[in-house]
Chains A and B, each alone.
Chain A
Amino acid sequence: MEIIKLNIDGRDVETEAGKSILEAALDAGIYIPHLCHHPDLPPIGACRLCIVEIEGIEGIHPSCVTPAENGMTVRTKTESIERMRRLAMELMLAGHPADCGSCDKYLNCELQSLKQYLGVEELSVRRRSKLLPINSGNPLFIHDPNKCVACGRCVRACEELRGVGVLFYVKKGKETITGTASDLPLADSGCRFCGACAEVCPTGAIQDKKELVEGKKRKAALVPCKYGCPAEIDVPRYLRFIGEKNYSAATAVIREKAPFPGVLGYVCDHPCEDVCRRGEINQPISIRELKRFAAEHDEEKLWEKNSSCKPATGNRVAVIGAGPAGLTAACYLSKQGHEVTVFESLPLAGGMLRFGIPGYRLPREVLDSEIKYIENTGVNIRTGARIESIEKLLEEGYNGIIVAIGTHRGQKLPIPGADNAGVLTGVDFLRDINLGKKVSIGKSVLVLGGGNVAFDCARVARRLGAEQVKIACLESREAMTAASDEIKQGEEEGVSLYPARTFTRILCEDERVTGVECLEVESFFFDEDNTPRIEARESSGHILEADTVIFAIGQQPEIPDGFGLDTSASNLIELDSFTYTTSRDGVFAAGDAVTGPSSVIKAIASGRKAAIALDRFLEGSGNIDEELAPRSEDKPYLGPWDGFASLERCRDAHVAMEERLKSFCRVVQDMDEKEVENEAKRCLQCDLRLKITPVKFWGNY
């Protein structure tokens, strides 16, 4: 690389040959005002703020497009430069609204910053209002052409950075702004919705819609799938690999954050899909299905090859509970070089993955193989080993402990009849079924509760031969916490729903349950103390008949007294949310036992955090992140795609209803590879936007 020397404003500056005078100056910390220039875009010399004088060459030159040459003497501030710069700025401001304070870009606007730098307040040229309509009809972005100064950054970002080329300079009467051909909506123009235009816009002309970003951190707002994932799995990155049919690399990306890609592919509650920006255009990407496909087609096992364990530290760690939180923590602690033993009171590892979630939702071989991989990292799982005392573990020489005991105690409402033998709790019912025990239920089952556990119970009951299965819950149908596909599949399988009901009594005859007395709920909400407030409708009493009643209204951890841990009012383990420590030194906790019943991905994320905390406690780095997937070359060039916006989400494929009820066979069906590719390529690749170089304001120089 050739280094050349030039003099800018009396300062000797070195730069690489091929750089422009502007780049050379900025690199050297000499600020030259500029607007149409952006570090990632080809320069066009349009705004003329960056003009300079060069000794020996007549005239004034835009420094962004003038190559720096060896021996050049450059002046960036002379009277004639200042005069022309000021005129250029005045010309840009002439048609730009003057009320900066009312703009959402206020204090974050390059034009405003430059205006202050140049001290332009009064204009010698004619001011005007463009009076162009604001375009808020597109998803994701809002376009206010009145604020456009036609710097052309969005046009270049669209054309040259992304290769999409749907933004142009367009004329609106006498005004020039940027926009699509024939004013087409972005969706009809072939836009890829990558957001590069909004990212590079120096004014408030193209902005993210307020409701999508307000109050959120930048990354969480712009790449919500990744930063909305409790474990921060890099969703866009693995979707890109899936689009390239590199399933092994995709799985490796997932495994960089979670040791259960296959499990998540079946049962993740996918908060990523709820916030997917593609959902603003038509439907979110089917992220979970893609994840499952990748995990099940990972032939190469790249992650295994790239994975490594740190040298043994000599520390011994005990993890109590072999659910997703405990196993995740165990897995990462083992990789950090600690000797990890997991104690599980039940005869098999897996926790709620095995004893809560029924097999038709999560095939056991998927779970088994992922647990096996964790064991392969050196984790010792001791099943049928119930821990009653922390003290004893410490005495046995464990240096650190993670309590991840889950919430295995089901709750019942304290109403008459609840103690009857025909009244079960969901968690016991599901555990017994999964242990292979014979559970006798009647022909008519009523499940009380509106969450996923309620649906699990109801759908299991259907598979056990119950002819009539009902679900009744306090919440209105819209407010039910169960996943929408659970509700849909449950209804398909003949489960009938009775939402918005409160239960006053379980009716029994001759010691046998005959039904539940209910009232209709007029309103149900939580007050400021988070206490539920229920208002029942007058004289709405009625009976839902059933011979078996299952409570699925909540679960709590069973914390042995010997643990000596502080607990909260709701009987959960108290945790310092910052250090992840419990009330006992060296004892950490994770999973549902801390949070109450929650999702698998949250349990995994919590397991990671506990592992980090414990590793630090054991004087490790606390850095459990792994680089398992190949580093992918950035391919920010998306290319045009007519009809991209209208690409429909792939269908959800399920086994036929008649087949489902015959056994506990899995319900979801696989997509074919073409469908997978199509679905992966629907991704907007929002993460590319974060790779655009941020612009420095003059205050930064």
Chain B
Amino acid sequence: MHFEQIYTRAKSECDYLNDRDCIKIYVSSSADNSAAASVFSAFQKETEKCGIKARVIATGSLGCYELEPVVLIEKPGESAVTVIYNNVTQEMASELVNDYLIKDNPGPDMALCSTGSKKLSGIPNVSELPLFKLQNRIALRNCGYIDPENINHYIVHGKGYSGLSRALQMKQSDVIRELKKSGLRVRGGAGFFTADKWQICHDAEGGEKYAVCNAVDADPRALTAWLLLEGDPHSVLEGLLIGAYATGASHCFICVNGEHVHAVRTLRKALEQMRKYGLLGRDILDSNFSAEIEIKEVSACLVAGEETALLRTLEEKQAIPYLRTTYPATNGYKNRPTLINNIETMANVSAIFQNNPEWASGIGTEKSRGTKVITLCGQIAHKYTVEVPLGTTLRTLVQDIGGGAPDGKDTKAVHFGGPTGAYFAGSSLDTPVSYEAMEKADSIIGSGTVEVFNGDICAVEMARDAISYIQTQSCGKCVFCREGSFQMSEILTDIAEYRGRPQDLDLLTELGEGMKTGSICGLGQTAPAPVLSSIKLFREDYDAHIREKRCPANK
């Protein structure tokens, strides 16, 4: 089938999406929110009872978990308007049908905001809320706005698979060139330019090639993979197919956390639907590109984020990284050239090809184009997952979007980039989230989590907990990561319990430097960052523990 044929069929199968007489009610929440199901059926029952022409659609999460279930009511017509409600209950559902759909009273006291040109009195426009205003959703563009279990939604609403169609009409080298123009750097890892990675894999010789999407949240607090798989799997799968085409791979793997049962189910359904449209198998979209995608369930752990560990998992071996002498792009799965990108990168790829590279390169900073999905956690008022342009400062994320510390306390530190990221002092949160700024701060973009600690916390305990977690996640293969993190955890425990010795800080620094250069993989090389940055930022806390045998946080 051509793309046009698919598009026409998708449109006819979900004619309600473009039906100007049909009201659309999107019930958005994470799959584990049981309230969403009852709200969904309440809307269905109520609209049916009242004889309203409406369609209730279950979508994935928008990332504002504490507001869920979030309901978007889109009223068609000349001046189309969408009103967004948060924490909707069954009772609110029937109220909204009667008040808003029948009587046209949008209920400003219940509404969060509205979108569209029409101003509704008492309801702020979406552009007035920092949560929405500061976001620019590319990877998460469809999350919360489409039915993830219906490929037609992706195609009709999100221009889905038009990117693949466009790529397949280009030469492989042109696809890579176009990606290069977008300036997309891989999300996670060392921030390599995605196009360069593709180019190496494209140029590699050695028979069959493979394309792999790492769709596991190695950092369990980053919810990116989970959100995308549950909310918009096709944007990832489309990106994966574009990558496979550009590099010459025909066998693709998508690695997912086997414990995320719902995500796996959604993904499976997505693949079935793709096959029906000829988006898998032979001669995809009437091109001569053929590909298969295989779901690989893996167990999530921090080390699963390492390409080499992931490759070993694919080969049914223990997830232990190995020292790369060559890139997986030339020597990966079964020693064949293998493209590996993570889920966020793949979701960006499909967006770039659905639009154009210039569009994507216009967002972000000069060296860090595009956006980054960020999850806010720790001692912060709003624990959201958002997507912001690269270059957004930590302050914006913590204060404007996250609302600062929940009880108005000072923010002492922000731990950015996941377990192996560095700490930033609460007083100087002007560091922008960009590859160049993070490198300068001896940290990483990593998983993009922002963990906030308020003034009550002891810096030593904070660092100890961070390194102790890493210690449990170290695969144990290399001496510096395994033993270095072990020693750091012991030494910090000693310091926290006032048994520290003056020379311990030098020892921690020496261990940290050793780990940076002496570890096999990125996990070990970045593992000392929390400890080293903590010592640098909160030296007085350490000195108080070691020399005065007191903790400044527990006055």
**Residues of A bordering B, CB below 8 Å:** 44-48, 51, 59-60, 62, 65-67, 84, 87-88, 91-92, 94-95, 124-126, 128, 149-150, 152, 159, 165, 168-169, 171, 174, 176
Contacts and interface: CB of A to CB of B under 8 A. Distances in A.
Contacts of A169: 318, 320, 475-477
Contact of B478 (A48, A84, A87): A48
Interface of B: 317-318, 320, 322-323, 325, 471-472, 474-480, 482-484, 486-487, 489-491, 494, 503, 507, 510-511, 514, 517-518, 520
Given A92-B483, A95-B486, 12 more contacts: A44-B478, A45-B520, A47-B478, A60-B517, A62-B323, A67-B325, A94-B483, A95-B483, A150-B482, A174-B471, A174-B489, A176-B477
B474 A65 contact: no
Contact of B477 (A87, A125, A152, A159): A152
Contacts of A174: 471-472, 486, 489
A88 B479 CA distance: 7
A46 B479 contact: yes
B515 to A, nearest CB: 10
Given A87-B510, A126-B487, A168-B318, A59 B517 contact: yes
A126 B477 contact: no
A154 B189 CA distance: 30
Nearest to B487: A125
Nearest to A152: B477
B480 A91 contact: yes
Nearest to A61: B517
A46 B490 contact: no
A87 B471 contact: no
Q: Which 7 A-B pairs have the closest CB atoms?
A: A176-B476, A91-B483, A46-B478, A45-B323, A48-B518, A126-B490, A169-B476
B514 A159 contact: no
A126 B491 contact: yes
Nearest to B471: A174
Nearest to B513: A84
B494 to A, nearest CB: 8
B325 A65 contact: yes
B48 to A, nearest CB: 53
A149 B486 CA distance: 13
Majority-rule SS of B interface residues: helix
A88 B323 contact: no
10 contacts: A44-B477, A60-B517, A88-B514, A94-B486, A128-B490, A150-B476, A150-B482, A152-B477, A165-B317, A171-B472
A44 B514 contact: no
A646 B287 CA distance: 55
A29 to B, nearest CB: 25
A46 B483 CA distance: 11
Given A128-B490, A174-B472, A46 B520 contact: yes
B323 A44 contact: yes
B305 to A, nearest CB: 18
Contact of B476 (A60, A91, A171): A171
A44 B490 contact: no
Contacts of B484: 91
B522 to A, nearest CB: 14
The interface centre, meaning the residue of A45, A67, A92, A159 with most chain B CB atoms within 10 A of its CB, is A45
B480 A150 contact: no
Contact of A87 (B474, B475, B489, B514): B514
The interface centre, meaning the residue of A46, A47, A168 with most chain B CB atoms within 10 A of its CB, is A46
A47 B517 contact: no
Nearest to A93: B483
Nearest to A169: B476
A186 to B, nearest CB: 17
Contacts of B472: 171, 174
B325 A91 contact: no
Contact of A124 (B474, B479, B483, B507): B507
Contacts of A87: 510-511, 514
A159 B312 CA distance: 12
Nearest to A167: B318
A125 B503 CA distance: 11
B479 A47 contact: yes
A370 B518 CA distance: 66
A46 B479 CA distance: 6
A168 B320 CA distance: 9
A171 B480 CA distance: 16
B204 to A, nearest CB: 18
B517 A44 contact: no
Given A84-B514, A165-B317, A44 B520 contact: yes
A94 B486 CA distance: 10
Contacts of A150: 476-477, 479, 482
A169 B486 CA distance: 16
Contact of A65 (B323, B475, B491, B511): B323
B479 A92 contact: yes
Nearest to B491: A126
A46 B477 contact: yes
Nearest to B489: A174
A94 B480 CA distance: 12
A169 B322 CA distance: 13
A125 B514 CA distance: 13
Nearest to B486: A174
A46 B484 CA distance: 13
Contacts of A44: 322-323, 477-478, 520
A291 to B, nearest CB: 39
Contacts of B507: 124-125
B325 A84 contact: no
A633 B325 CA distance: 30
A152 B317 CA distance: 14
A44 B503 CA distance: 32
The interface centre, meaning the residue of B472, B480, B486, B518 with most chain A CB atoms within 10 A of its CB, is B518
A662 B126 CA distance: 105
B546 to A, nearest CB: 15
A62 B507 CA distance: 22
A174 B470 CA distance: 11
A365 to B, nearest CB: 54
A84 to B, nearest CB: 6
Nearest to A173: B472
A205 to B, nearest CB: 14
Contacts of A66: 325
A159 B317 contact: yes
Nearest to B514: A87
Contacts of A91: 479-480, 483-484, 487
Contacts of A51: 518
Contacts of B479: 46-48, 88, 91-92, 149-150
A306 B518 CA distance: 56
Nearest to B325: A65
A88 B524 CA distance: 14
Contacts of A125: 483, 487, 507, 511
Nearest to B494: A126
Nearest to A159: B317
B378 to A, nearest CB: 24
A44 B482 CA distance: 15
A94 B520 contact: no
B379 to A, nearest CB: 27
Contacts of A95: 483, 486
Nearest to B503: A124
Contacts of B320: 169
Contacts of B483: 91-92, 94-95, 125
A372 B359 CA distance: 93
A174 B472 CA distance: 6
B368 to A, nearest CB: 24
Contacts of B503: 124
Nearest to A124: B507
Nearest to A43: B323
Contacts of B487: 91, 94, 125-126
B474 A176 contact: yes
Contacts of A88: 479-480, 514, 518
A448 B322 CA distance: 70
A169 B321 CA distance: 12
